[in-house]
Structure 1
Amino acid sequence: MASNIQRMKIGDFLLRRLEEAGIRHLFGLPGDYNLTMLQQLHDAGRMKWIGTTGELTASYAADGYARLNGLGALLVTNGVGPLSAINGVGGAYAEHVPVICIAGSIPLRSIDRGLGMHHTMADGNFDHFLNAYKPVTVAQARITPRNAVTEIDRLILTAWREKLPVYMEFPSDIAYLDIEVPEAPLVLAEPPSDPERLRSCVAAVAERLSAAKSPAILVDTDADRFGVASELMDLANKLQAPVAVINAAKGVIDESFPHYVGMYAGKASEPGVCETIESSDCLLAIAYRPIEVTTGDFSASLPANTIHARAHSLDIGHDNYQAVTLKEILRGVINAVPEVSHRAPRHVVAAAMPSTDIDANAKLTQAFYWPAIQRYLRPGDVLYVDNGTSFSLLGLKLPPGCTFIGSINWGSIGYSVGALLGALTAAPERRHILLIGDGSFQVTAQELSTILRHDYKPVIMLINNGGYTIERGYLGKTEPYNDVANWSYANLPKVLRPDTSARSFVARTGADLQKALDAPNDTLIFVESIMDSCDAPALVTRSSNLGAELDYGPTGPQHREGLQLRPATSQMTA
């Protein structure tokens, strides 16, 4: 038995376990309580430290990294660090992203003796931040020499298995203490399904799908998080069944897949999709989580007999199946259902963004911009959207192999800049395109300096329209509270890194934009597109108008003349 045990310093063991879980980079800020672990990371020379400009953007970066890598992690210092990062960790919880937030915390000696320390509330209670993280993480622990082996493994495995963030407090005086640890590496694996429950579940689902005349599949983001997109497409192929996604799951199903029909959002669905989903006599919904922005303001109406499949359970009729995993269920069902050679076609996929005949030398508008972006996309791109008129990305048809990264459920502006840093770090070989407005960009613009520092080469497409145009559709069409300071955005790469080779462009016309899009992407490209503050795609504006009705009710100020930006009938509607 002794041969299976070795002695390691606790900090080295944590770093080893993170590496065994596939984490090659750690994001965050140094602070006196986490410097012991940072020194161990530096001495080991394996995992790379990516210092960010703030804890909030570190949490966004860990989120973006996890979406391409499977797991992400950040390291902050006690109190001020976790509270700054909690918004991003909360977003990871809402979006089902496995992030490990590690807080180098006050010495265990100080906790045992009740000693007052900086970066605390100075009230003798050392559990405030553990408690603060309980609502936004699936598991939390303070590491000690006694629990280190058990809790480090538990937190990492829980984050990976549940696809949710966890929180770990790591006292600064334990990193260099030796403990006994297992020699065996950490294995990321799902517990196997209960054999009887799996057999019964597969048989019940297969029976329903096989008997259906119009089966269909509806996909939410967990299809990506739990890696079952390929199984869903195999099942759709075998059944000749249509597949739709909600907007948060954009790109999870290859949009060139023959059975992909588009996005479902109730009455706001793409043409034909609503009927396809709502009239299905056997709808298989994958981890469907309805909120107003994914359901067309609650206009979605799934069939009453919908099969609801989640990561580790499934509902079919009155029966609930536990101790089963989504991937095993789908593989079993694929094997069990008979192959359908032909099925009457349903209304399928909406057309891609239409081209426009707008004069390229005229003032740049949203109507010219988005068809140009559509033409710019290519297979394998990683695409980022932030809250604002950049939601128009949802109306584009993505080429095969693209990945969509956004904060649809959580909706935290500025998320995409930090996520861009993280995902670039995870997959620098892919082309990354950030689509963002000036308001969102100003929240986290400083992280551009870290992107430049590491010589990453994303394409940053920024719309400069003087503020929060999406909010103008809710309320305050011309009110100053929706304005932001007008920066010289295209100059920022040079300001943040004077020796940069980045190419910057200011696009005031369609011709300017096209010139920028034609530039070689052998370095960072930054495109500032100047547009009118009240120019917004009709679908975005309509969504904001409806959102105001939900948010403010019938007595709200949105009904006053001129307080809302409204869609013009001449606007394109894609």
Structure 2
Amino acid sequence: MAQNLLTVGEYLAQRLQAINISNIFGVVGDYVLGLMDVLLANELKLIATCNELNAGYAADAHARLHGVSAVCITYNVGGLSLVNAVAGAYAELVPLIVISGAPSTVQQRQNLLLHHTAVDYNLQLEVFEKITVAATRITSAHQAARQIDQVIAACLRQRRPVYIEIPSDLVNQPCPIPATVDSPPNPMIDRQALAEAIEEAVELLENSQRPVILAGVELHRYGIANLLKCLLEQTGYPFATTLLGKSILSEMHPQFIGSYAGALSQDYVRQRVETSDCVLCLGALMSDINLGGYTAQLPEVKLINANSDKVKIKHHFYHPVSLPAFMAGLSNKLQRKNPELLDIKPAKDSLSVSFEVKSTEKLTNARFYQRINRFIWELETASVVIAETGDALIATIDLVLSSDTEYIGQALYTSIGYAVPACLGAAIASPSRRAIALIGDGAFQMTCQELSTIIRNELNPIIFLINNDGYSIERAIHEGSYNDIQPWKYHQLPGIFGYSWSCDVHTEGELEEALDKAKFYQDRLCFIEIHLDKYDCSRGVK
């Protein structure tokens, strides 16, 4: 073969490696077997999950830590099973490359009635067009490289999922290698609009007495948390994060006051943000969960709301405006304010409050999360905290995390069942940090089989299974028999899947013993079943 030719499968493998992808999550199937062989032959590792939905959740969490991830599945029965996870990744700005096998081009031209097909051969492509920023079907090996490059560039630029469909007979066809590789284009910027946005924002902030910064997820997804750090150093302003933006910077930062989510926030955090005379909101998604069920009080008259490509100040819109350029412009022009006049109560001070174990006392929700906050700090290694949708997500708002601890929670899409496979993805992405997952019993029953994959890959997360006899957050919204679930002996499951350690806990003393053993058993999955009362939930849910 000529040096300027690779097969379609080989070219895809090389492009994935070029953007630092070495692991692919997925489930095999006959339409993708040939492509899987090529990917594995090119030193990409398949993390084979128990089903496609879980592969998507795992790849989502992996991308949040690693920057981008890939999932590979078969046609329709695989791809359509994956849809929910990809929709969540789209909603929360997670760069995910979906790769699907498909019937051969000959079979498609003949319009054969094949297994795994439904409606027509465009069904899966059309579905993914709705939940990705770019979707393509390779129809010619000659054009394959350019199509692959364009889709990957869209993923990296817009930080959202993309979709590539490759018919089985094109995988090993030679394709010309383009002289240049498409790279993510620089964002469009209206320089005049940018200058006016900076000028108006600076005037409002300089004239304010109690400004505050509210930082959101886009700062993480676009890799610009360093600009927030510079802005804080320049201005001295206090800052809070949205739940989706939690752990953007170390929560030990002296200007970090806590996570803000309207009425779900701690009293001081809510009061400090909502009584500010100017709120500088950077990269936040104004969703119902981020705003505490829309209980947040952030009047437009005192809000500067900047997102990836636009800025809104009061009733003025500036577009297209780059968020990094806007933040850099503010840092260059704003003056430092006296911290003593800004009413800053660092969130880290809450860790100085002593925690006295009451060994014989029945464990409660509040006491459990207070203890877990300290336990995270006791670990010898850094960690990744994964909070399941439901009460665990709300309860972890008030955790205070160190500089080397990351937080993952689906705070916008909120798909129940996300956390177990997300724990898998996080542990693969960051093996030097121990994953700590907090999962409700109802959510666990949806995706628990990925415990098997965690054990298969010799990972060592600590999973806290919150057993409160059903869907507690749904009970808080509306009680009904549909919130009940079949009780399981959860702590016995890991032993069925393989090498692990597990126990169940009812009292504070038993929790202490379990935490000590989890710290000791660093070479395996540790699974701790926490028994709480049926209606015992977090302060925010109550």
Work out which of the residue numbers 240, 249, 255 in structure 1 matches 2:251. Answer: 255
Which residue matches 2:124? 129
Partner Cα separation in structure 1 for residue 338 and residue 478 of structure 2:
52
Q: Which amino acid in the other structure matches residue 492 of structure 1?
A: L
Q: Say if 2:466 and 2:532, in contact at 8 Å, map to a contact too.
A: no
**Where in structure 2 are the equivalents of 1:145-160 lying within 5 Å?**
145=140, 146-160=142-156
Which residue matches 1:536? 536
Q: Is residue 11 of structure 1 aligned with residue 6 of structure 2?
A: no
Which residue matches 2:359? 360
Partner Cα separation in structure 1 for residue 463 and residue 229 of structure 2:
32
Which residue matches 2:308? 311
Which residue matches 1:269? 265
**Where in structure 2 are the equivalents of 1:273-284 lying within 5 Å?**
273-284=269-280
Bigger Cα displacement from structure 2, 244-253 vs 94-103: 244-253
Q: Say if 1:17 and 1:186, in contact at 8 Å, map to a contact too.
A: no
Partner Cα separation in structure 2 for residue 459 and residue 275 of structure 1:
35
Which residue matches 1:101? 98
Partner Cα separation in structure 1 for residue 431 and residue 149 of structure 2:
29
**SS of equivalent to 1:158:** helix
Which residue matches 1:492? 493
Work out which of the residue numbers 439, 443, 457 in structure 2 matches 1:440. Answer: 443
**SS of equivalent to 2:300:** coil
Q: Say if 1:141 and 1:167, in contact at 8 Å, map to a contact too.
A: yes
Bigger Cα displacement from structure 2, 375-384 vs 59-68: 375-384
Change (3 A) 1:79 1:410: same
Which residue matches 1:560? none
Which residue matches 1:566? none
Q: Which amino acid in the other structure matches residue 255 of structure 1?
A: E
Which residue matches 2:298? 302
Q: Percent identity?
A: 34
Q: Say if 1:242 and 1:261, in contact at 8 Å, map to a contact too.
A: yes
How many residues are matched?
531
Change (3 A) 1:403 1:180: same
For residues 146-169 of structure 1, give each alpha carbon's deviation from its aligned partner in whole angstroms, at most 9, with x where no partner exists.
432222112111111111111221
For residues 353-394 of structure 1, give each alpha carbon's deviation from its aligned partner in whole angstroms, at most 9, with x where no partner exists.
765556312333324322221110127320000023323122
**Where in structure 2 are the equivalents of 1:465-484 lying within 5 Å?**
465-476=468-479, 479-484=480-485
Which residue matches 1:168? 164
Q: Say if 1:466 and 1:484, in contact at 8 Å, map to a contact too.
A: yes
Which residue matches 1:115? 112
For residues 531-561 of structure 1, give each alpha carbon's deviation from its aligned partner in whole angstroms, at most 9, with x where no partner exists.
244242351442xxxxxxxxxxxxxxxxxxx
Bigger Cα displacement from structure 2, 407-416 vs 106-115: 106-115
**Where in structure 2 are the equivalents of 1:322-341 lying within 5 Å?**
322-341=319-338
Q: Is residue 522 of structure 1 aligned with residue 517 of structure 2?
A: no
Partner Cα separation in structure 2 for residue 152 and residue 435 of structure 1:
37
Query: How well do the aligned residues superpose, as a CA RMSD in angstroms?
Result: 2.4
Q: TM-score scaled by structure 1?
A: 0.86
Report the CA distance between 1:112 and its aligned residue.
2.3
For residues 286-305 of structure 1, give each alpha carbon's deviation from its aligned partner in whole angstroms, at most 9, with x where no partner exists.
23322332222222232324
Q: Say if 1:261 and 1:349, in contact at 8 Å, map to a contact too.
A: yes
**SS of equivalent to 2:305:** strand
Which residue matches 2:139? 144
Q: Which amino acid in the other structure matches residue 383 of structure 2?
A: D
**SS of equivalent to 2:273:** helix
Q: TM-score scaled by structure 2?
A: 0.91
**Where in structure 2 are the equivalents of 1:290-439 lying within 5 Å?**
290-305=286-301, 306-317=303-314, 319-342=316-339, 344-346=341-343, 348-349=345-346, 352=350, 359-378=358-377, 380-391=382-393, 392-439=395-442
**SS of equivalent to 1:238:** helix
Q: Say if 2:154 and 2:184, in contact at 8 Å, map to a contact too.
A: no
List gaps (5 residues or longer) in structure 1.
543-574
Change (3 A) 1:64 1:6: same
Bigger Cα displacement from structure 2, 349-358 vs 258-267: 349-358
Bigger Cα displacement from structure 2, 466-475 vs 317-326: 317-326
Q: Which runs of 4+ in 1 moved over 6 A?
A: none
